Amino acid sequence: MKQELKKNIDSLMAQGATYVDARWYPTEESNSLMMWNGNLKDLSASSQSGVGVRVLYHGAWGFSAASSLEDTAAIFGKALDNARTAAERVDFPVRLAEKDAVRASFSSPNLIDPFTVPLTDKLEFLRMMDAKLNQPGVAQRVAALDFVKRQIVFLDSEGSEIEKTIIDVFPSFQVMGVDKDGEVQARKYKSARLGNTRGWESLDPEYFSATAERLVRELNQLLVAENCPKDERSVILLPGIMFLQTHETIGHPLELDRILGYELAFAGGSFVRLEDFGSLRYGSEKLTVRADATLENSPGSFGFDDDGVPAQNNLLIDKGILVGAISGRQMVEEANARAHRQIFSGSSGANRATAFYRVPIERMTNINVDPGTDGDLNDIVRGTERGVILDGEKSWSIGSNREQFHFATDIGWLVEDGEIKGVLKNTTYKGDTLKFYNSLSAVGDERTWEVMYVDNCGKGQPNQIMQLGHGVPVCRFDHVTVGE
């Protein structure tokens, strides 16, 4: 098949194309299990395969994809036809940043492929977790497992040949109960990783048993808790909500296609302008953020993006100053041209598609906040006069250009004079993005840093659901409105 794809790439180049690539998925598999109150409510498995082809012709893209590989020449021909049609209407001719030809392979780290694990073992793990969650105070409980495996072969007209095998495991758990006021409260687990594996062995029974006990304990505290006060306080964000804060108000606004106005779906574009790079104070000096696609234990690490560019660790915000963006080969060239200066020296290796039948677009890799030097959670609490600790994403609302936000969390803890005074329910906080990050006053050290998984990041039209991660520490922000 690779030889067949190469032959068709050469054929399109001979017909006047300036660039061609093909992404062949020999197989993509998914497996989902969900248990609700001890009953197996979902058990599904699916697989797909096919090839997607991009062609650049006279400054315009053409794309075509098919699951049947009986006539690959037709797939390539359709992509060229689409590019020729688009070239008649192109406003800003596409140029691609330079890259080296790569011949390489990548496999996500794992010891046990979950697709080789018997169904009985998967069900036994869910039953174990369900039993741990089935405790007094819990009215509803959910335990779920999702597995993904992709094999991808990338070839392009510049000589790149890349083979990838990507495996990821996504566990999730939730407990719900009715509080003293008749309201439903919930506590949930979002995938977190501290090791360096992405296989079946990441489902460590001891770790998840302790996690279940913690979820039940915190739910029962919520059922008798007081409401979050309406106030202005310091907020101490644990990784279970700091990951979402980072995702929505740093990750998405720094996708370069949003900044250029191409991506306006799912909470609009971005408040960031091209002239902001190198000068905008995004946050306090304690804020350093990077897009690190080299992090071993996260689904935001993929070896090479769908432009054939190697995964990178790119600085986005350096001690509060905006210095980089999430980008692919096309958008960096357009950004430099529109800005009349070289902002970007090349692609950051972040152009990805969710399937062979989707066009690659700028997507977050692992958007991580560097750990700081302000100690652990206890140290940060001791230095906080009036605050709330927050954890667990519950709901979120984002401004049309990510310039403001309002988040609700699963749970909170009141902090007074450096001590935790009790659990709070119905916790919320809001702010203006730049003002909020400039109020960052404490960043926890490496002991507080966790990698949180996101398995449902939506972007694009048609929508593409992508998986990634966020490595984040405990962070404190001052003068924040809470409880409204």
Alpha carbon distance 468, 149 (integer Å)? 14
> Which range has the worst mean pLDDT, 190-204, 211-225, 340-354?
190-204
- 129-167 tens-digit pLDDT: 999 999 999 999 999 999 999 999 999 999 999 999 999
Structure tokens that stand for 316 in this block: 């986005």
91 Cβ partners below 8 Å, 6+ apart? none
Alpha carbon distance 446, 451 (integer Å)? 11
Rounded to an integer, the average pLDDT of 345-369 is 97
411 Cβ partners below 8 Å, 6+ apart? 187, 218, 221, 222, 390, 391, 392, 423, 424, 425, 427
pLDDT of residue 265: 75
- 232-278 tens-digit pLDDT: 999 999 999 999 999 999 999 999 999 999 988 776 799 999 999 99
Residue labelled with tokens 């350096």: 318
Average pLDDT, the chain: 96
- CA nearest 144: which of 165, 162, 127, 120? 127
Alpha carbon distance 472, 289 (integer Å)? 9
Residue labelled with tokens 């230095």: 383
Alpha carbon distance 230, 212 (integer Å)? 31
pLDDT of residue 191: 75
Alpha carbon distance 88, 69 (integer Å)? 29
**Is the model's pLDDT at 203 over the cut of 90?**
yes
- 33-47 tens-digit pLDDT: 999 999 999 999 999
**Is the model's pLDDT at 196 over the cut of 90?**
no
- 9-37 tens-digit pLDDT: 999 999 999 999 999 999 999 999 999 99
Matching CATH number, 2-224, of 3.40.50.720, 3.30.2290.10, 3.40.50.300, 3.30.70.360: 3.30.2290.10
Structure tokens that stand for 449 in this block: 């840093």
- 290-304 tens-digit pLDDT: 999 999 899 999 999
In 14-139, the DSSP E strands lie at 19-36, 39-57, 60-66, 103-107
Q: How would you classify the pairing of strands 361-362 and 351-352? A: antiparallel
Burial of 103 by CB count in 10 Å (0-12 exposed, 13-18 middle, 19+ buried)?
A: exposed
139 phi and psi, to 5 degrees?
Answer: -85, -35
- Count of CB atoms within 10 A of residue 298's CB? 28
Asked if residues 208 and 129 have their Cβ atoms less than 8 Å apart, the reply is: yes
Structure tokens that stand for 113 in this block: 């492929």
pLDDT of residue 267: 65
pLDDT of residue 194: 64
**In the chain, what are the domain boundaries?**
2-224, 227-482
Residues 268-277 as b or e (16 or more Cβ within 10 Å = b): bbbbbebebb
- CA nearest 288: which of 398, 164, 372? 372
Angle at the Cα of 444 (from 239 to 286), degrees rounded to 5?
A: 105
**Is the model's pLDDT at 462 over the cut of 80?**
yes
pLDDT of residue 397: 94
> Considering just the CA atoms, what is the radius of gyration of the chain in Å?
24
Q: Given phi > 0 = left and psi -120 to 50 = alpha, else beta, which region is 167? A: beta
pLDDT bin (cut points 50, 70, 90) of residue 115 is: very high
Distance from chain centroid for Cα 220 = 31
> Which range has the worst mean pLDDT, 86-95, 257-266, 415-424?
257-266
HSE-up (13 A, CA, CB side) for residue 283: 26
Alpha carbon distance 179, 427 (integer Å)? 14
Rounded to an integer, the average pLDDT of 73-93 is 96
73 Cβ partners below 8 Å, 6+ apart? 8, 11
Alpha carbon distance 480, 233 (integer Å)? 5
pLDDT of residue 404: 97
Asked if residues 269 and 400 have their Cβ atoms less than 8 Å apart, the reply is: yes
